[in-house]
Amino acid sequence: MNLNPTTNHSRLFSPAVLGTVSLKNRIVMAPLTRSRAADGNVPHELNARYYAQRASAGLIISEATQISPQGQGYPKTPGIYSHAQISGWRSVTNAVHDQGGKIFLQLWHVGRVSHPSTQENGNLPVAPSAIKPVGEIYTEQGMQPFVTPRALEISELPELIADFRQAAVNAKEAGFDGVEIHAANGYLIDQFLRDGTNQRDDAYGGSVENRARLLREVTEAVLTVWEPGRVGVRLSPVNPFNDMADSNPQVTFEAITEQLNAYGLAYLHVVEDRETNFDFQKLRHIFNGAYMANGGYERNSAIIAIDTDRADFIAFGKLFIANPDLPKRLRLGAEFNVPREASFYAGGPDGYDDYPSLDMPDADTN
């Protein structure tokens, strides 16, 4: 095995099968909220162009996409619950497929990470428990303090699960190649998983088995629409984003990973923080499907992770924002464009579809 990270012959660049989907490489575009949807939270031509530019990824995972109006947390994020949104996403999937790419939709409900100004009729955001996050959230009126959410009644959960299922149906209608269930980064399902945000005393709280019940039931609902080989789950065991914590994340997420094995899913997408003492390789070895690693990877670390079998796929975030031809740059060892962070959520084409691609020929085609 050649572990020299200067080589362009790494398995990172080789074709692979993810679940039942054939990919041209093991490089994944991570889901990236960009706040560029049109009125009605509808994807449009600008989004189609942006995703098509990045279709050389083995797989694109779409930006997080709310399954319902209640699931929205930020302005101008796309949904997948209206006919217009389905049509808008179809223009995106068509553009990606025309460039030979594959794209999954990430299914999202933000839970407490929202604000009454974003919710229908000024309603409170919902959560497993009425625990206010520390900090502020961006709204159409600028930064606003988080509010205390309303705890979901157990009688509301079947409808919530039905919203995930309908979103999966709509994703299929929109032409996606699969879906990813967003259970990470402090959003609703993650709020149920971690005991810092879930203090329920019913069948959805207390033990890890109970806290993971919503994730299991959402997964089961999605699998009535999509075959397991086209479904993944994203987890973030130690990510503190959105004021998240768990008293014993290693035990919690090893148990959750074991539970997910029952479904034969295509992959487990894990947001890693390699500065912590969490053993991510335990999850990699527990999970029966593909392990997709995410978290600050660059060329050398990605090649080493793949070629030493620490991961099956590597998801890149900020590097894909600034480098639409990232797989080519990784393969050639070329310089990266620098991400312009001030424009990450700016709302227009600047800093979105205007990053340059390499002019030099691809070495693999000579």
Alpha-helical regions (H) of 125-232: 157-173, 188-193, 208-211, 213-222
Instruction: Determine which one of 74, 81, 187, 267 is catalytic.
Output: 187
CA distance 23 to 359: 24
Parallel, antiparallel or unpaired: strands 103-108 and 126-127 = unpaired
- What are the structure tokens assigned to 167, written together? 């979103």
187 is catalytic: yes
* Number of residues that make up the chain: 366
Q: Which of 38, 36, 70 is nearest to 51 (CA)?
A: 36
Q: Which of 166, 188, 181, 190 is nearest to 85 (CA)?
A: 166
- Residue 140: Cβ-neighbour burial (10 angstroms; 0-12, 13-18, 19+): exposed
Cα angle: 28, vertex 267, 5; to 5 degrees: 45
- What are the structure tokens assigned to 97, written together? 């497929």
Contacts of residue 180, defined as CB under 8 A and 6 or more positions apart, other chains included, come to 31, 61, 104, 105, 106, 107, 231, 232, 233, 234, 269
Residue with the two structure tokens 């101008």: 76
Q: From the CB of residue 262, how many other CB atoms can be counted at a distance below 10 Å?
A: 11
- What are the structure tokens assigned to 341, written together? 């962070």
Q: From the CB of residue 116, how many other CB atoms can be counted at a distance below 10 Å?
A: 14
290 within 8 A of 261, measured Cβ to Cβ: no
According to DSSP, residue 118 is labeled: T
Please list the active-site residues: 187
